[in-house]
Amino acid sequence: MRKAIVEFDLLEPGDRVLVGLSGGKDSTLLMYALAHLVRHLPWPVELAAMHIDLGFKSPEESDYSLLAARAAAAGLSFQVERLDMSQDILHNEEQNSCSRCAYWRRALIHNNAKTRGFNKVAFAHHLDDAVETYLMGLLYSGQLGTFMPKTFLDRTEVTVIRPFAYIRARDIIGAVNKLDIQIPPSPCPLDGYTQRTRVKELIRMLCQENPLVFDHLVSGMREGKRQHLWPAVVDRKELRQKNLAFWRPRQSAEGEGKE
């Protein structure tokens, strides 16, 4: 984690960082890891935790006591924001459910950070997440890219940081097991049945055939790598002009300039 923090300048003196705490293994470990690191820094950084509840469970079924206790144990204040968007997420025809869910989570925590004076939001996305996002964009939307370890948001003037950018999912699982952190089941009704799950399984199968597949995908995400990509798509107007020019009578290249 320290490598990503140093390389991408994720933490600076005086930062107020709001940690997104879903309650899953990734965000729980990130909260503990950041709390431990901040205690040993030679300059001040303030941490707080926030949980976004999008209404997959009823208010009566929702219990935040475990999250609150873990945040308190780590020395962080804790806040919950609930917005019942479950039907919009699960039955939106214009956007897949995972993208819609991520949109609302980000929007709520970014706005909350701005309102409360936090200049940074920390998410627990790790290296496997980045690779999966990279491949998902290519397979499902024809876009080549992934999330960045550090992103400044113009609208809210909040910076998103991802300190686990270099951490593998298997290492997070190992740390959670070693620390005996009990993780509650995900409330998401689509857990295990998403595009990300399918891409995760695809990468796993490819790595069985060639263990270097994951490393190659990581390498492909880096700027500055030699790329051989087709030119950008030509718009219809330009293509029409090129088509007219193609059929216009003209001399061969060898005949040009001859009398």
In this structure, what CATH number is given to the domain that contains residue 185? Answer: 3.40.50.620
Other beta carbons within 10 Å of 88: 16
Interatomic CA distance for residues 71 and 37, integer angstroms? 15
Mean pLDDT of 64-85: 91
- 155 within a domain of the structure (yes/no): yes
For residue 94, pLDDT over 70 is answered with no
Q: What is the pLDDT of residues 28-44, one digit of tens each?
A: 999 999 999 999 999 99
Q: What is the pLDDT of residues 182-217, one digit of tens each?
A: 998 877 666 666 888 999 999 999 999 999 999 999
- 38 within a domain of the structure (yes/no): yes
For residue 255, pLDDT over 90 is answered with no
- The DSSP secondary structure of 114-161, one letter per residue, reads HHHT-SEEE----HHHHHHHHHHHHHHH-------SEEEETTTTEEEE
pLDDT at 129: 95
- 257 within a domain of the structure (yes/no): no
SS3 at position 16: strand
The residue range of the domain holding 55 is 2-220
For residue 152, pLDDT over 60 is answered with yes
Pairing mode, strands 46-53 and 16-20: parallel
Interatomic CA distance for residues 132 and 98, integer angstroms? 13
For residue 257, pLDDT over 90 is answered with no
- 148 within a domain of the structure (yes/no): yes
- 233 within a domain of the structure (yes/no): no
Mean pLDDT of 152-162: 96
- 242 within a domain of the structure (yes/no): no
- The DSSP secondary structure of 201-240, one letter per residue, reads HHHHHHHHH-TTHHHHHHHHTSTT-----PPPPPPHHHHH
Comparison of pLDDT for 107 and 177, the residue scoring more:
177
- 170 within a domain of the structure (yes/no): yes
Pairing mode, strands 150-153 and 158-161: antiparallel
Q: How many domains does the chain have?
A: 1
Rounded to the nearest integer, the mean pLDDT of the chain is: 89
- 137 within a domain of the structure (yes/no): yes
Q: Residue 11: which pLDDT band, with cuts at 50, 70 and 90?
A: very high
